[in-house]
C-alpha cells in the first residue's frame, strides 16, 4: 500500500533571474514568493498558498518555458510502477525524484510529499498483488 496525489504545479521559466520570474507569478496569483530551505533548491521559489491548496513553485530552467505537474508520494518506486502500468514511461531519475512522460505527451515528476496535509488527504493505492 502507498499513497499519492497531485502535489505541486511547477512553473518552469526560461530565465537566469528566478526572482523576476517569481515576482510576476507571485503578483499574478496573489501568493507570496519565498526561497526554499534546501541550498540545492536555489533555482526555485515557492509561492505560498493555503495549506489545503495545491503547492506552486517557480523554477528557472534552460529549456523552453512551460508548466509541469508533480505527483507527490510516500513511495516513489511503487508510484512510478503504478504510473507505468497506466501507460506513462520513465524518462530520467534526478536527485530525489523521477521525471516521467504521460501517454498524452506531457512530462511530469514523481516526488516526495510536499503538501502539509498529504497524510490525511492523499489517495491510497493497494499493492500490485491486491489490484
Q: Does residue number 5 form part of the binding site for its own copies (CB under 8 A)?
A: yes
Q: Does residue number 89 form part of the binding site for its own copies (CB under 8 A)?
A: no
Answer for which of 16, 32, 93, 106 binds its own copies (CB under 8 A) is 106
Distance CA 44, CA 59 (A): 5
The window from 32-40, 90-98, 122-130 that contacts its own copies (CB under 8 A) reads 122-130
- All 3 cell numbers of residue 83? 504510473
The answer to whether 109 and 98 are in contact (CB under 8 A) is yes
Q: Tell me whether residue 5 or residue 41 sits nearer to its own copies (CB atom).
A: 5
Distance CA 111, CA 83 (A): 13
Answer for which of 1, 14, 36, 77 binds its own copies (CB under 8 A) is 14
Other CB atoms within 10 A of residue 37 CB = 7
Distance CA 79, CA 125 (A): 9
Instruction: Report the site for its own copies in 32-71 (rule: CB under 8 A).
Output: 49-50, 52-54, 56, 64-69, 71
Distance CA 85, CA 79 (A): 10
- Chain residues binding its own copies by CB under 8 A are 4-6, 9, 11, 13-15, 21, 24-25, 27-31, 49-50, 52-54, 56, 64-69, 71, 83, 86-88, 102-106, 121-123, 125
Amino acid at each position: 500500500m502507498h499513497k499519492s496525489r497531485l502535489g505541486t504545479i511547477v512553473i518552469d521559466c526560461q530565465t537566469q533571474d528566478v526572482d523576476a520570474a517569481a515576482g510576476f507569478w507571485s503578483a499574478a496569483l496573489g501568493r507570496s514568493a519565498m526561497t526554499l530551505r534546501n541550498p540545492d533548491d536555489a533555482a526555485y521559489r515557492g509561492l505560498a498558498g493555503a495549506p489545503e491548496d495545491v503547492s506552486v513553485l517557480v523554477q528557472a530552467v534552460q529549456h523552453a518555458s512551460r508548466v509541469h505537474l508533480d505527483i507527490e508520494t510516500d513511495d516513489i518506486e511503487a508510484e512510478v510502477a503504478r504510473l507505468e502500468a497506466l501507460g506513462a514511461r520513465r524518462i530520467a531519475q534526478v536527485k530525489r525524484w523521477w521525471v516521467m512522460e504521460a501517454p498524452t505527451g506531457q512530462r511530469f515528476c514523481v516526488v516526495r510529499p510536499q503538501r502539509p496535509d498529504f497524510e490525511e488527504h492523499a489517495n491510497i493505492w493497494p499493492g500490485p498483488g491486491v489490484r
